[in-house]
Amino acid sequence: MFGKKKTPILSPDFHRFAGTEGYITSAPLEQAVNASVALGRPLLVKGEPGTGKTVLAEHAAQALGMPLLRWQVKSTSKAADGLYVYDTVQRLHDSRFGDADVSDIGRYIKLGPLGRAFKAEEQTVLLIDEIDKADIEFPNDLLYELDMMSFDVIETGEHVEAAHRPVVVITSNNEKELPDAFLRRCVFHYIDFPDRELMDRIVRVHFPDIEDRLLADCIAAFYQLRDVPGLRKKPSTSELLDWIAALRRSGIDTAKLALQVPFLGTLIKNERDLELVAAAAGRRR
Amino acid sequence: MSPGGADPARSGGGAVLLDFLYALRERRVPVGLQEWMALLEALALGLHESSLTAFYHLARSILVHSESHFDAYDQAFGQVFQGIEADALQLTDELERWLADPAMLRYLSPEEKAALEELDLEELRRLLEERLREQQERHQGGNRWIGTGGTSPFGHSGYHPTGVRIGGSPGNRSAAQVAALRRYRAYRSDLVLDVRQVKVALRKLRELRRDGRQDELDLERTVDETCRNAGELELVWRAPRRNNVKVLLLMDVGGSMEPYARTVSQLFSAAKQSRHFRDFKAFYFHNCVYRQVYKDAWFREALPLAELTATYGPSYKLVLVGDAMMHPLELMEPGGAIDYWSYNQTPGIEWLGRLARAYERRVWLNPEPPRFWAHVTVNAIRNLFPMFPLTLEGLEGAVGALVKGKRARGAGGYWPG
C-alpha cells in the first residue's frame, strides 16, 4: 500500500511506552515514542539542554523491556564507524610481527553500535546521542542503512541484515542543522521546558520525601531565576535537582529564597549571568 | 479506534486532511509525500486514538521536523480544524512588530510623530487593547486569537486582554486551544536570529581542502608502501581536510542602520567566532561604499577600495550588510556622499559595481524586511548583488548563493511574494 515502505515489525501490543517510575512523560512524548516504534522510523528528540533527552532513551528501553545500545557521537565520528571498523593498523602490525592469523580478515572487523543493534538476537533500543556533534554529512551517510536495515562488510563480503528493527532514538542539541532527507524519515519530538506543575512531579520522583513547602519555595525561586531577562544559559531541570540536593543537605532555611539564593553556582554557571541575577534580585528587594 | 474507521480514504475525511497538507505547505512547512504517507500509515494503525488532541501531536511529530515550524503548524492546524482567522493573527503580529520596531517610525510624517509623542505608551496600549477587544466581540465570542498577544511589545507580559479560557491543566486543553496558544512563536526561524543560530548557518559556508600539518594516517598509501617495502611497515601521513573559505564582510554603520545594530553585531560576532573560516576580514562604510572603506566603525582608519580588492582577491567571498536605502542622489550622482566634507567624483553605484565585478561570490544582507525593499536604490543595488533578508532563512539562502557562486551572478537572491 505504501510502495517500497518496509512493514514495521510490530508486536500486537506495541502501544507500550508510558513512562517509567523514574521518568515522567507527557502525552505528546508518549505518542511520539509509540509512533516511532509502530512506524519503524527513528525518533529525533530535541530540546533545551537538561530536559532529559538522553535519559528518555534509557527509560524507553526499560519500559519496552529491550537492551539499550549507546552511540555517543563526537566531532570526529564517522557514520561508517557505527556499522563496523576494520582495524587495518592492527592487521598490518600482526603481519609484520607475525603473532596472529592475518588471513582471517573477520578477526579485524569490529562492529559498532549500529552493527551490534542489527546483529542482536532480540530487538534493541539504539541511542545515537548528540548527532549534531558530528560532521554535517554524518546523518546522510546513515540514511541507507537505517532505511534498509542492512549493510555489507566490504572486506569480508558478509551481508548483515537486521533480524529485528531496532528502536532508534536520536538526540540533537541544534548545534548543526540536520539534512532534510534525514529529517523526512524521522519522527520528531521537541521536549518543552516543563511547566511548574510538571516540574513539581519531576522533583518528587527524585526526592519522594521532600517537604511541600521547601519544594514550592524552590520551584518559585527557580522559575523566577529563569525569568531574569537576558540570561545566556537558563538553569535547567538537572540543575534544579542538583540545587535542591545541595539545599537539603545543608539544611538552610528556605523562607528567604526569593531574596537570596544560596548555592547559586549550582544553577547559574556564567559570570555575566550571575551579575544579571544579582541586579534583578537587587531590584526586587 | 478501529483502524478501518480511521482510514481517511474511506471515511471521507481525506478532504480535510488534504486541506491541512496544503495549509502547511502554504506556510512553508516543508512537508513532502514521504511524511504524508507516514501520517496516513500512522492513522491506519490507529495511533491517533480517535482524538483530535492526539492527532495534533501525532501529526506534528511526523510532519514537522523542527521547532521553528511549530508556530506555522499551529496556525495551519487552527485554520483547518477550528477556523481561527489566520489573518487576524497576522494582523496582531504585524501590529506588535510595528510597535516593537523603532525603525518603523521613520515612515511617519513629522505631524504623526508629534502626535505619537503626545500619546504616552500606557495610553497607546490601552487604546490598542480596546480596539482588539471590540474587534473580537464583533467576531464570534469563543474566538481566542487575541489571547496569543500575551507578550505585548511594551513588556507587559502575561496580560490577557479578554476572558481567554486557559483554565484547567494543559492536558485538558483541546488541540485547537493548544494550537491557538501559539507557544512556539519564539522559535520561528524567519524572525529570530541569535549568535549560535547564525553560527549554525555559517557552518555551511565551507570548501574542504587538505591543508596544514600532516598528521592523519593515509591508509591506502600505507598499505601500498608497505607492500612495496616487502612487508616492512611503512607509514604514510597526510594533512587533514580543512575549510578553505575566506570571507570579507562590509558593514553599513550609517544612521539608518541604528535600529539593526544588535542584529548586525550578532552576525559579526558569530562570523568572528566561527573559527572554521580560513580568513575573516571586516570593514565598515557609511550608507554607501565610495572610494574607501574603514577599518573601524568610527571611520578613523581608511582603506582605499582599490587596495581592498587587491589585498583580498577574488578567492574571498564578499558579504555586504546594509539597508541599501538612501537618497537616490547618494547612489547615482557624483558628489552625492552623505558626508559633506568628502566630494566623490564617481557615483556610489559605480563603486559598488567595481566591488561586484571584483567578487564573483557575493551577497547583500538587508536587515529590512523584504516588503520594504521596493525602493529605487534597493532595486539598483539588487541588480549588482543577490540580496537576502538578515533572518535565519535569508542567511541560509545567502550561504547557499555563496557556496554555489557561479549562479549568483547579477540579480538574484530572495524575492518576496
Residue-range domain boundaries for chain A: 27-191, 196-284
Specify the fold of A27-191. Answer: Rossmann fold (3.40.50)
Residue B66 and residue A184: Cβ atoms within 8 Å?
A: no
- B75 close to B60: Cβ distance less than 8 angstroms: no
Could you give the count of Cα atoms lying within 13 Å of B247 in the half-sphere of its Cβ?
Answer: 32
For residue range A231-280, what is the model confidence (pLDDT) as tens digits?
A: 777 888 888 888 888 888 877 766 666 567 777 778 887 777 888 887 77
Residue A88 and residue B223: Cβ atoms within 8 Å?
A: yes
Report which residue type is found at A170: I
- Helix (H) or strand (E) holding B252, with range, is strand B246-252
Determine if the pTM surpasses 0.80.
no
Q: What pLDDT score was predicted for residue A239?
A: 86
Lowest mean pLDDT across A71-80, B86-95, B299-308 = B86-95
How many CB atoms are located within 10 Å of the residue B295 CB?
14
Nearest by Cα to A190 from B395, B67, B90, B159: B67
Confidence of residue B145 (pLDDT cuts 50, 70, 90): very low
ipTM of the complex: 0.76
Please state, for a pLDDT cut of 70, what percent of chain B lies above it. Answer: 60
Extents of the domains making up chain B: 3-187, 211-238, 244-408
| Crossing angle (nearest 10°) for helices B121-138 and B86-100 | 170
State the cell numbers at B410. 547579477
Q: Is residue A234 within 8 angstroms of chain B, CB to CB? A: no
Q: What pLDDT score was predicted for residue B197?
A: 63
Q: What are phi and psi of A86, to 5 degrees?
A: -100, 110
Could you give the count of Cα atoms lying within 13 Å of B404 in the half-sphere of its Cβ?
Answer: 13
Mean pLDDT of chain A: 81
**Considering the domain B244-408 in this protein, what is its CATH number?**
3.40.50.410
What chain A residue is nearest to B195 in terms of C-alpha separation?
A232
Please say if the pLDDT value at position B190 is more than 60.
no
Q: What pLDDT score was predicted for residue A69?
A: 93
DSSP state of A110: E
Residues of B in contact with A96 (CB under 8 A): 231-233
What chain A residue is nearest to B32 in terms of C-alpha separation?
A184
Please say if the pLDDT value at position A37 is more than 80.
yes
CB-nearest to B200 from A35, A92, A175 is A175
Nearest by Cα to B262 from B102, B149, B92: B102
Q: Is residue B236 within 8 angstroms of chain A, CB to CB? A: no
Lowest mean pLDDT across B77-81, B265-269, B318-322, B372-376 = B265-269
Residue B65 and residue A39: Cβ atoms within 8 Å?
A: no
pLDDT (average), residues B259-267: 77
How many CB atoms are located within 10 Å of the residue A273 CB?
20
Residue A38 and residue B58: Cβ atoms within 8 Å?
A: no
CB-nearest to B61 from A89, A136, A189 is A189
For residue range A72-120, what is the model confidence (pLDDT) as tens digits?
A: 998 778 888 889 988 877 887 787 777 777 788 888 889 999 999 998 8
Give one DSSP letter per residue of B50-67, joined into a string: T-HHHHHHHHHHHH--SG
Please say if the pLDDT value at position A1 is more than 60.
no
Residues of B in contact with A136 (CB under 8 A): 203-204
Q: Cα–Cα distance between A57 and B12 in angstroms, integer? A: 38
Q: Is residue B219 within 8 angstroms of chain A, CB to CB? A: yes
Q: Is residue A4 within 8 angstroms of chain B, CB to CB? A: no
CB-nearest to B233 from A3, A32, A96 is A96
Q: Which residue has the higher pLDDT, B72 or B328?
A: B72
Mean pLDDT of chain B: 70
CB-nearest to A195 from B170, B201, B219 is B170
Could you give the count of Cα atoms lying within 13 Å of B151 in the half-sphere of its Cβ?
Answer: 9
Q: Cα–Cα distance between B355 and A175 in angstroms, integer? A: 34
Q: What are phi and psi of B252, to 5 degrees?
A: -80, 125
Residue A190 and residue B70: Cβ atoms within 8 Å?
A: yes
Lowest mean pLDDT across A126-135, B6-15, B121-130 = B6-15
